[in-house]
Amino acid sequence: MQSASPIASPSLGPGHVPVLADDVARLAAPRRGETIVDCTFGAGGHARRLVPALGADGRYVAIDRDPEAGAFFAAFADDVVCETRFVHGDYGDVLPRLDGQGLRADVVLMDLGLSSMQVDRPERGFSYSRPAPLDMRMDPRDEHSAADLVASASEAQLAEWFRRYGEERHARAIARAIVRQRREAPITTTAQLVDTVRSAVPTPALFAGGHPAKRVFQALRIAVNDELDSLERGLRAAFGLLAPGGRLVVISFHSLEDRMVKRFMRAVSRPAVPDEVPLRAHELVAEAELLTPKVIRPKQAETDLNPRSRSALLRAVSRAEAPA
């Protein structure tokens, strides 16, 4: 593979480092003339690593639901020789449209983490460590923000989100505290939500396992953006988009996502056995080959340079070649 050359872009800030870049490049294994579909372009960190291998006759299709990604894509596209295309939208919706248009991909990449352009900008409301409006929408044009959900959801619904999406032990107590607090005044900022969570969590839990609001913020972000439904639809659509021999590479950042990715990839790499037709063992054919029998995690050197990579989990699968 060719080494990546520097490509000009808008200012990304110090937090923008593509996660597991070497492993992504190895598993994606892009070649001249191939087509890559990047489901979560963000600021284009992985794109810059992968695109030099495509050459002038390759194609890079970028998807992102955050309209701000368009500026980063424009800078990226200006400096590459291959064909490029940007599609604004949720990849769970966009991938089936691309399939309907007859596009076939040799690589589909999903980096499910927040982009630096989201987490490093306080006004987007994704961070529990900075006071900001309680927003969390990946597309600011979407109808409902995190503040809207906090204001309108029932105590039972809040507790269910915190338990299911955040795996939060104190989900019910936090939900109760939110409902109690919003009767007095609306919770419209990240700082107000953090204070409410702190008031509901037992004192020992405030000093164990990271920031006490981390799981609540994760849960609300997933609920606001319907992330798990997008992932479920997106995995099926991405695999269907692959040409024979194509590679699906997915980076997840929490156990809920990783379990979905793991189950899906194991399912497509397991030979199907028709109930009504007995087959000999050598006649069983899987749809795909699992490229990562074990999940890949960042090495210590990477987490030292980029602490945000610490929770990254990488899995990949290759679609079976067409029969001769």
Architecture per CATH, domain 122-225, reads as: Orthogonal Bundle (1.10)
Predicted pLDDT at 9? 42
Question: Over the stretch 184-235, which tens digit does the pLDDT of each residue have?
Answer: 999 999 999 999 999 999 888 777 778 899 999 999 999 999 999 999 999 9
* Two structure tokens written together for 51: 């695109």
Edge-first strand listing for the sheet containing 83-88 = 83-88, 59-64, 35-38, 105-111, 242-252, 313-319, 288-290
What is the pLDDT, as a whole number, of residue 16? 61
The pLDDT value given to residue 60: 98
Q: Are 106 and 41 in contact (CB under 8 A)?
A: no
Give how far Cα 68 sits from Cα of 12, 38, 183, Å: 12, 16, 35
Q: Are 238 and 106 in contact (CB under 8 A)?
A: no
To which CATH superfamily is domain 21-117+227-319 assigned?
Answer: Vaccinia Virus protein VP39 (3.40.50.150)
pLDDT digit string, tens, across residues 19-40: 999 999 999 999 999 999 999 9
Task: Domain ranges for the chain, please list them.
Answer: 21-117+227-319, 122-225
Q: How far apart are CA 92 and CA 237, in angstroms?
A: 7
pLDDT of 275 reads: 57
The reported pLDDT for the residue numbered 6 is 34
- In the chain, beta strands by DSSP E: 35-38, 59-64, 83-88, 105-111, 242-252, 288-290, 313-319
Q: Which pLDDT value is given to residue 14?
A: 37
SS3 assignment for 11-43: CCCCCCCCCCHHHHHHHHCCCCCCEEEECCCCC
pTM reported for the whole predicted model: 0.88
d(CA 259, CA 249): 15
Centroid of chain to Cα 83: 24
Q: What residues in the chain have per-residue pLDDT under 70? A: 1-16, 116-117, 119-120, 272-285, 322-324
Q: How many CB atoms lie within 10 A of CB 109?
A: 27
